Amino acid sequence: MDYRSVNTTRSPEETVALGRELAQQLTPPRLVLLRGELGAGKTTLVKGIAEALQAAKEDEVTSPTFTLIHEYRGPDTTIYHIDLYRIETERELATLGIDDLLRDERSLVLIEWGEKFPRFARERDVEIALERAGETERVIRVA
């Protein structure tokens, strides 16, 4: 993977701040894959993105692990934060209606664990890989 930028954050606050910066480059419609192990900071990054796009306050953004999809509406963008960790089959995936979300011209679709389904790797506009480099330090690569 050819990365456009590599960033290191040293705290959750810095990861949120990086999300705010990245949001300026994520004009809809976009499909963004968020890669990283559990606890890598994917949702923390989304907090900054959602806040910068005026779709949600930082403390309103939570992991969609159990609800699967969280929707945050801003003045110009609707963010769909999707977690596919518990989705095992294409059949289960189809029930989520992601294709409909991707057709929305205002949508910024942020998918965690999208690499489980090869089509998302092919269709994605941006990939953000988060890697733990210490207790609170993260290396974040954007492609």
Check residue 53 and give its pLDDT: 98
- In angstroms and rounded to an integer, the radius of gyration of the C-alpha atoms of the chain is 14
Cis peptide bond prior to 12, omega within 30° of 0: no
Q: Residue 142 pLDDT more than 80?
A: yes
Cβ contacts of 84 within 8 Å, gap of 6 or more: 68, 93, 111, 112, 113, 114, 116, 117
Domains of the chain: 5-142 (3.40.50.300)
Average pLDDT, the chain: 95
- What tokens does 125 get? 């506009």
| pTM as predicted | 0.93
Cβ contacts of 3 within 8 Å, gap of 6 or more: 129, 141, 142, 143
